[in-house]
Each structure stands twice: as structure tokens, then as C-alpha cells.
């Protein structure tokens, strides 16, 4: 068993089954810096979702949208676009945490994004979030988090990203 699998089993391989962790304002966010906040529920990646993403982005590469050809390819099936996995972070993240007490919050950017493992169609993924830093800027508070998307039963994550959010009081 890999370290990632042990971590997954130790930290809720079962359904999350709870509400997002609520942060009421900057003090509670700051107190959580350096901690792992939790995990989302598992989400199945369907061919329909992959096809819809391909239509939305114009990326119809066969490895994503042609199950017959992909069956003879390197993964034995179609795989999700890396950017599809990335695009799911807002939905998965909302299951993990709810930050309140700000007039506005926006996605400010990404510091680093990696896709260590492909996500085969039919796989289940979930996200985990660690709050890594909170910095005061003239425009508000900048929250940096490390988000890791796991593949159920996988040895490597599908995605690791450092996300940056701007929170205006």
C-alpha cells in the first residue's frame, strides 16, 4: 500500500458526509494556516462530462473522446483532460470549506499546477485542501492553498495545484 493510499484510508476514504468547514472572517482563516482542512466527496468522472468539456474547449483529442481508439491506447480507455480536473476545483472546494465575512472573493490565480496521473473515465476523484499562507495586500487578503486531487485507489494524485484567492473585506 502506498503512502497516499494509507493517508486516504486514514483520512476518510469513506464518504465525507459532512458540511463544509465554515470560516467566519479573516481571524478564523488565519488560525487555520498550515493545516489540512478536509476532503470533498468522491466524484465520478463520466464520459459525458469529458465530452461536454471537449465541446466547451474545442479539445477533441481522441484520448479523451474516442473510446474505441482509446481502448488500444496507453491507458486502455479515455481519460479526462487535465484542465477538466482543474476546472472542478471550485465545485470540489465548496464541499470542503465555506469562507464568510468578505464582501467579495475571486480566484486570483495559480502558482503551480501539475498533473501527475491521468484520470481514466469511470474513476472517482476527490480533493483535499491545505491552507498554506495568508498575506495582506492593498486590494485585500491573499489566501494560498495547496489542493490535491486524488484518484480512488491510485498511487499518485491526478492534480496538485497552489491556488490563490483574493478576499476583500
Give me the domains of the chain, ranges plus CATH numbers.
3-45+79-168 (3.10.129.10)
SS3 94: helix
In the chain, which ranges are continuous DSSP H helix?
Answer: 3-10, 26-31, 47-57, 62-65, 67-70, 82-87, 89-96
d(CA 126, CA 13): 10
Report pLDDT digits (tens) over 9-68.
444 444 455 799 999 999 999 999 999 999 999 999 999 999 999 999 999 999 999 999
Question: What is the CA angle 121-65-95, rounded to 5?
Answer: 45
pTM for this prediction? 0.87
Amino acid at each position: 500500500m502506498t503512502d497516499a493510499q494509507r493517508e486516504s484510508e486514514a483520512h476518510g476514504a469513506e464518504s465525507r458526509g459532512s458540511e463544509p468547514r465554515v470560516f467566519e472572517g479573516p481571524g478564523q482563516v488565519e488560525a487555520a494556516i498550515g493545516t489540512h482542512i478536509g476532503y470533498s466527496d468522491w466524484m465520478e468522472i463520466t464520459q459525458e462530462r469529458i465530452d461536454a468539456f471537449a465541446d466547451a474547449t474545442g479539445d477533441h483529442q481522441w484520448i479523451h473522446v474516442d473510446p474505441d481508439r482509446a481502448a488500444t491506447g496507453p491507458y486502455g480507455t479515455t481519460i479526462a483532460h487535465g484542465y477538466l480536473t482543474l476546472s472542478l476545483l471550485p465545485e470540489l472546494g465548496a464541499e470542503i470549506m465555506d469562507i464568510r465575512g468578505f464582501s467579495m472573493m475571486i480566484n486570483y490565480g495559480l502558482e503551480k499546477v501539475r498533473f501527475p496521473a491521468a484520470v481514466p473515465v469511470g474513476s472517482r476523484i476527490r480533493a483535499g485542501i491545505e491552507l498554506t499562507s495568508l498575506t495582506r495586500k492593498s486590494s485585500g487578503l491573499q489566501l494560498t492553498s495547496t489542493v490535491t486531487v486524488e484518484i480512488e485507489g491510485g498511487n499518485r494524485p491526478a492534480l496538485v495545484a497552489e491556488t490563490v484567492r483574493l478576499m476583500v473585506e
